[in-house]
Amino acid sequence: MAKISINMGKGTLDNTPKGDVIVGIDLGTTNSLVSYMVDDKPVAIKDKDGENTLVPSIIYFDTNHLVKIGASAKSKLIEDPQNTIFSVKRLMGKSYMDMKDYEGFFSYKIIDDQTDESLVKVRIGDKFYTPTELSAQILTELKNRAEDALKQPIEKAVITVPAYFNDAQRQATRDAGKLAGLDVLRIVNEPTAASLAYGIGLDKDANKTVAVYDLGGGTFDISILKIEHGIFEVLSTNGDTFLGGDDFDRAIMQYWTATHQLELDGDRQSIQILRLEAEAAKKALSSQDSFSTTFQEMELSITKAQFNELAQPLVSRTIDACKKAIKDAQLKVSDINEVIMVGGSTRVSLVKDSVAAYFEQEVNNNINPDEVVALGAAVQADVLAGNQKDILLLDVTPLSLGIETMGGLIDVIIPRNSKIPIKAGRQYTTSIDGQKNLKVAVYQGERDLVADNRKLGEFVLRNIPPMPAGIPKIEIHFLLNADGILKVRAKELRSGVEQTVEVRSPYGISEEDMARMLVDSIKNAKEDMKVRGLIEARTEANNVIMATAKFLEQNQDIFSDAEVTALSELYQLLVESVKGEDKDLINKYMDDLNTFAQPLAQKAMDRTISEAMKGKKVLGD
């Protein structure tokens, strides 16, 4: 809600009301920035000198563990690499196991603390920092920058994350905001924010399919979105978490090293200087045809044509990823209505031209590609503040969420592509008499068997009062909030015993895994259905077997010997069939047993009733 201030002294409306400002934040791998709305337009906030909007996502710790963030930390990458943290976004919500293959990529130490499921930490001297704490440092810097510029406290923010970020990564980002003293009103997908910056999705009646091509410093993401009535659906994502502008810089360095026989081995300082020269060359070549500089008293130069040759294989890899994303979304190139360019590296001419050629259309690149995500986050913040009427921005959940049921099957509670936020629930019961505890294991994925899906977490609902099997009514309730974070509640309705947990997954999921899980689910649908049929038949048969055994034991005296023998034989056949793989056979024996037992059950029931009558236990007597 926009606030109106009244000047009580003069009795007039104050026409420059200072309501809460909600800022939009792009917390990037390479660069971060903060923006807000001025006169219905999003604006990125500059540093004190009024020059840069970008804050390099770099944190430097001095010997007293005091921090420097951003541009002032960047130079420390050369001087003091062990104490200078970059690319912390890659570590968000990840376990050490997820990252250990990439250890060499980081100049600082990443560690775990021995437990299997522990999240990765960064070691600086004798202290350990979580990626959440480190990101909070960057967010604090952005918050301070906004407070200096707007001259008021900033307490609310919208923060963006890649579309493929899972629950744990989103939660870690939200926690970082909290640590920085920000109330994070919404976690928004980066491609959604980029679309909003272009006004796409703000018109409720315009339906569009959009490709967002995001080539940053070290990562490449392509996302295909469907936008209908203000609802953003991520149809597919693809990309490469180790491909970006840094690779262009490295290619230029290698070119110069080879053509000038530069000998740099081990000289960190010189390597870093050359790297910066290479980056300068790359940037210059986005707007001019050649570049030259001097390095170690030598002239180094490169033309645009030479650079294009170096960049070509890298750009081709991004186009291959686009092809896969289009295919996963089950679309054709001609179905894409808009292509949006995001990330500093989309300024490279070869990138722009290749993307336009592949999508067969002009691309949207007139908003600064470094800023577009943060600007869109400010637009989203404005929508949340209620300043943009009639717009409801919703995302959808990319993978189904459910719980494990008998036989290791997943029971989906929130299906894939549900609009979020969403609440959904279902009732279950116990399978054993007097069962006191019930394990609730939560999974994400599209396959029928939990073993093929990803476990998000589990907990135990304890202290269910003892009741016969089938009597407790246990409601499992899922609440998936607008950030894609899941809360699960289990409640036994007869007794009111309940437990709620926020599900955080210990391991991160990579975008490749996410894509693979979806593809697998389609490939294996038939096989899964067969397995599911067999497991369901077995589960049901086991219940019948247990019930029959109990029934025989309690009622043997009223049946004839022939009846007992026949029932026992059918019982045995069912027991044997459950050990096999033939679901039809199991179902057949189950039917046979049920049909035969029906009149016997009637007889047993009649006896129970007449006994009750005799004992005058019938109500109303």
Catalytic pick from 98, 141, 167, 190?
190
151 tagged catalytic: no
**Cα–chain-centroid distance for residue 394?**
15
Greatest alpha-carbon pair distance for the chain in Å reads 112
Q: Determine the interface stretch with ligand ADP among 165-173, 241-249, 317-325, 559-567 (rule: CB under 6 A).
A: 241-249
Residues 367-386 that bind ligand ADP (CB under 6 A): 370
User: Residue 54 or 461: which CB sits closer to ligand ADP?
Assistant: 54
Is 161 or 381 the residue whose CB approaches Mg ion more closely? 161
Interface residue with ligand ADP among 21, 30, 253, 384 (CB under 6 A) is: 30
- Stretch near Mg ion under the rule CB under 5 A, chosen from 91-99, 119-127, 209-217, 389-397: 209-217
What number of chain residues touch ligand ADP (CB under 6 A)? Answer: 21
524 binds, among Mg ion, ligand ADP, none (CB under 5 to 8 A by kind): none
CB of 29 to ligand ADP, least distance (A): 4
Of 26, 167, 452, 492, the active-site residue reads 26
* Residue 576 CA: distances (Å) to CA of 320, 442, 580, 582: 53, 32, 7, 11
C-alpha pair distances (Å), 457 with each of 26, 442, 615? 29, 5, 51
* Nearest distance, CB of residue 114 and ligand ADP, angstroms: 32
Interaction partner, residue 217 (Mg ion, ligand ADP, none; CB < 5-8 Å by kind): ligand ADP
Residue 35 binds to ligand ADP (criterion: CB under 6 A):
no
Joined together, the tokens standing for residue 83 give 């104490």
Told to check if 343 binds ligand ADP by CB under 6 A, we report: yes
The least CB distance from residue 314 to ligand ADP, in Å, is: 12
Out of Mg ion, ligand ADP, none, which partner does residue 354 contact, by CB within 5 to 8 A per kind?
none
Residue 353 falls in the annotated catalytic set? no
- Residue 192 near residue 376 (C-beta atoms within 8 A): yes
Task: Using the rule CB under 5 A, give the single segment among 171-179, 208-216, 278-286, 506-514 that binds Mg ion.
Answer: 208-216
**Closest separation between CB of residue 218 and ligand ADP, Å?**
6
CB of 321 to Mg ion, least distance (A): 16
Is residue 56 within the footprint of ligand ADP (CB under 6 A)? no
List the beta bridge partners of residue 475: 427, 491
Which lies closer to ligand ADP via its Cβ, residue 226 or residue 347?
A: 347
Q: Which of residues 21-80 bind Mg ion (CB under 5 A)?
A: 28
- Taking CB under 6 A as the criterion, which residues in 193-222 touch ligand ADP? 216-219
Which one, 345 or 555, has the nearer CB to ligand ADP? 345
Distance CA 286, CA 351 (A): 10
- Which residue, 341 or 503, has its beta carbon nearer to ligand ADP? 341
Instruction: Compare residues 218 and 484 and give the one whose CB is closer to ligand ADP.
Output: 218
Report which secondary-structure segment, H or E, holds 258: helix 245-259
- Asked, as a colleague might, if the bond just before 421 is cis with ω within 30 of 0, I would say yes
Report whether 227 contacts 210 (CB < 8 A). yes
Q: 24 or 217: whose CB is closer to ligand ADP? A: 217
Give 345-349's long-range contacts (Cβ < 8 A, gap of 24+).
345/215, 345/216, 345/217, 345/244, 345/245, 345/248, 346/213, 346/214, 346/215, 347/283, 347/286, 348/248, 348/282, 348/285, 348/286, 348/311, 348/315, 349/285, 349/286, 349/304, 349/308
**Of 134, 177, 137, whose CA–CA distance to 157 is shortest?**
177
Separation of alpha carbons 438 and 450, rounded Å:
17
Tell me the backbone φ, ψ of residue 208, rounded to 5 degrees: -145, 155
Residue 216 in contact with Mg ion, rule: CB under 5 A: yes
Of 89, 118, 93, 119, the C-alpha closest to 106 is 89
Query: Which lies closer to Mg ion via its Cβ, residue 201 or residue 376?
Result: 376
Print the binding letters for residues 272-311 with ligand ADP: x by CB under 6 A, - otherwise: -------x--xx--x-------------------------
Q: Closer to Mg ion by CB, 216 or 445: give it.
A: 216
Active site residue 26: yes
- Per rule CB under 6 A, is residue 29 in the interface with ligand ADP? yes
208 noted as active-site residue: no
Q: Which of 98, 141, 167, 214 is catalytic?
A: 214
* The only residue of 94, 121, 347, 504 in contact with ligand ADP, by rule CB under 6 A: 347
3-state secondary structure of 152: coil
The β-bridge partners of 221 are 214, 239
Stretch 573-592 residues interacting with ligand ADP (CB under 6 A): none
3-state class (DSSP) for residue 293? strand
Residue 457 contacts which entry, Mg ion, ligand ADP, none (Cβ below 5-8 A, type-dependent): none
Backbone φ and ψ of 6, nearest 5°? -115, 130
User: What is the DSSP code (8-state) at residue 294?
Assistant: E
Among ligand ADP, Mg ion, none, residue 31 binds (CB under 5-8 Å by kind): ligand ADP
Distance in angstroms (rounded) separating the CA atoms of residues 27 and 137: 11
Two tokens, residue 568: 């026992």
Alpha helices for 260-396 (secondary structure H): 268-285, 304-328, 349-359, 372-384
User: Does 77 engage in binding with ligand ADP (CB under 6 A)?
Assistant: no
C-beta atoms surrounding 9 within 10 Å? 6
Chain residues that interact with Mg ion, rule: CB under 5 A: 28, 216
Q: Which residues are identified as catalytic?
A: 26, 89, 190, 214
Chain residues that interact with ligand ADP, rule: CB under 6 A: 28-31, 216-219, 244-246, 279, 282-283, 286, 343-345, 347-348, 370
